[in-house]
Structure 1
């Protein structure tokens, strides 16, 4: 029995949600949208996976109850940017084991100013007890230090790092759901205010409200409908337990297993959705997975990303589309499924067949504590 992804949907992101907007409402909207996209009725759903920071005090079972779902499988994942692929790992195994036939995975958050401030100060005990009292204010400072370290190690300059947000803004211009769509040049990037040296405002993901969902079913039940096959999954806690330099993620340790399981290599990719809370993290993950030819980051940025327009983060990525809390872990899965189903509109990658999606999440103290990846393949 094989698990496939048959539907994907993103509730439109918003920088300033309406007063009546709620996290539960966003999540429910994403579930219903994904079910419609899959071409099935809601009563087919017998499994639910959830990730959200702001649904509390409610949980996955409360969302299921409010939506009138009767389930055989239920799980909740709190791991931020790694949660989408974590949930897909679990759902794939559940469907293939017969524990459920049709699972919806959903993630999202509604953020007002107070919600985000509370999340930043109480993200985990390390943050609450040691960083918040110092006026930490969120992860920008930590990733500014990491970007400085990466620049010293690689020789990259600010105009090199600029190629990622600038290129992704070009993709965002074709995505009606992206929060920021206006054209951006390298000069625009360099003129943006410095948030914390060397990071500028355009290096940092904009916080938005929204939700994303995908549907995972048995292949045999999806006859005649577009689907994306889940070719390989891999995940790993970062190996150095916050004691290293942060210039490598756990993906470097599962790279061979990922590509061997997928039966393809980096050279076979038609697009990639790489978790981009900051440009440096997109580069680190791509290097860890062997996606940078000859390990030449500068040539990769200028020739492949900028001039050739290699399909990296075709939604515009979080840097332009926005980061809706826990939905950041599901956003790139939704985009990959839309591309593989030929439903990405003006930003459609021609003949897209293989997509890489990564997740990176849970800033434990200095940087993310988890990394994971999946390869999806178009299929009918």
Structure 2
């Protein structure tokens, strides 16, 4: 039976869909507000950014909060949507839900869909409102890995070690990912950490799970964000230029590590192929890439799987300053989860940053092409679990 990488992808005529509003809530160190309040703050700001009236919102997508997510959050926001989605597949949730929302709008099942997220992950730990638990699967098939210490970070560490063994990837190359993310964060006033890093800083920080040190790992922050998608019919009434969704792709891989066929290949290989084919573009056509980076290895292997470099060449690719906002392929231009913010399922933040870059709204951190013009295209690719799921979107200004 053919797998997802060998299945053909066919273009389908679609009603055009655009991102018309994006916003962050307060991010970083946010003591006091509840996750619901951060949802509301981000939603209000995104709606204001769009210039549309809240009455146009007939679709709502949210995950990770409430017993009846997204119904509880929609009620808190005063919304009564007729189209809802609460897909939860880890960090790629938001790219997957954006793909669902775009399909719904394209088919006429909704006209304007609000995606919103908020978390007080840092504040909860600080206040001891709950304990951090990065060990998943006390029940079901995953229970058989738990006794061996398979926390989330251990799963990523194993995958990174396999890539190092198979392709000669070095710790210095992985550290370069963190160094460049921090350099990009330096121009982002919303970033939690902005002080410069060196490769030696990364390598000499505390070991968390071999080969990862603390600075190979994402930060823990508070924060939220929101993205409003709408049909082309609404674009003439929006406050800012639209950013169009050209193509999307989703894929899953495994849940238990024993079912993962290749630790060096993520499901982004499938979701990226779908998204590029549906957009009619190739990786070489992309000006900016926003990739989920809970760990440095995620950035490296996602670049390979999306086709920005060949399999096994990610180490040399990231080691030449290419990921800087001024580099050949600007990646995680806000500083990413490694330096800017990571309140949990970070995927929606990737869309916010991609849209702001395409609009030319990033101030000192704005990417420009060699001819001085704004970037035209961007890719946002989220990863969920321990490379269990992936969602990829291709975006463009025109």
Match of residue 368 from structure 1:
387
> Structure 2 CA distance, aligned partners of 1:46 and 1:332?
23
Q: Which residue of 2 aligns with 1:359?
A: 382
**How many angstroms apart in 2 are the aligned matches of 1:230 and 1:270?**
15
Distance 1:205 1:127 in 2: 27
Give the match for residue 203 of structure 2.
190
Other-structure match for 1:172: 185
How far apart are residue 8 of structure 1 and its match? 0.8
1:253 aligns with 270
In structure 2, which of residues 2, 20, 27 is the aligned counterpart of residue 6 of structure 1?
A: 20
Counterpart of 1:228 in structure 2 is 243
Report the Cα distance in structure 2 between the residues aligned to 1:176 and 1:34, rounded to whole angstroms.
18
* Partners of 1:169 and 1:183 within 8 A in 2: yes
**What whole-Å deviation, never above 9, does each CA across 1:41-63 have from its counterpart, x for those lacking one?**
222222110022xx233521122
Contact 1:121 1:128 (8 Å CA) reproduced: no
Give the Å deviation of 1:294: 8.4
* 1:88-131 deviation digits (Å, cap 9, x = unpaired): 11111111222221111112322212566365355673598455
Using the TM superposition, give the Cα deviation of residue 208 of structure 1 relative to its aligned residue in structure 2, in angstroms: 1.3
> Where do 5+ consecutive residues of structure 2 fail to align?
1-14, 369-373
Q: TM-score normalized by structure 2?
A: 0.86
- Say which of 39, 43, 63 aligns to 1:27: 39
2:98 is aligned, of 69, 88, 95, to 88
The Cα RMSD (Å) is 2.3
Alignment of 1:294-313 (within 5 A): 296-305=313-322, 309=327, 310-313=329-332
Say if 1:318 and 1:92 are closer, same or farther in 2 by CA, change over 3 A: same
Paired with 2:254 and 2:393, the residues of 1 have a C-alpha distance of 19
Contact 1:165 1:203 in 2 (8 A): yes
Q: 1:39 aligned to 40, 44, 51, which one? A: 51
Closer/same/farther in 2, CA of residues 57 and 293 from structure 1, 3 Å limit: closer
2:356 — aligned with what?
A: 338
Runs of 5+ consecutive residues of structure 1 not aligned to the other structure:
none
Taking structure 1 as the reference length, the TM-score comes to: 0.90
Ranges of 4+ aligned residues in structure 1 off by more than 6 Å: none
**1:315-369 CA distances to partner (integer Å, 9 max, x unpaired)?**
101000121112x12110110011111112211112111101111102xxxx331
Cα drift, residue 240 of structure 1: 9.1
- In structure 1, distance between residues paired with 2:109 and 2:314: 44
The 1:301/1:268 distance shift into structure 2, 3 A limit, reads same
Q: Deviation at 1:154?
A: 1.3
CA distance in 2, matches of 1:216, 1:199: 37
The answer to whether the Cα contact below 8 Å between 1:229 and 1:378 also exists between their aligned partners in 2 is yes
CA contact (8 A) 2:93 2:391 kept: no
Give the equivalent residue in structure 2 for 1:288. 305
Distance (whole Å) between structure 2 residues aligned to residue 127 and residue 339 of structure 1 = 42
- Would you say the 8 A contact 1:51–1:108 is kept in 2? no
User: Relative to total residues, which structure has the larger helix share, 1 or 2?
Assistant: 1
* Equivalent position to 1:144, from 157, 168, 191: 157
For 1:162 and 1:24, the matched residues in 2 are separated by 36
Q: Does 2:88 align with 1:75?
A: no
How many residues were matched structurally?
369
Match of 2:71 in 1: 61
Q: Name the SS of the counterpart of 1:9 in structure 2.
A: strand
Q: Deviations over 1:198-248 (max 9, x none)?
A: 111001111212111100011121116311110110111116963224211
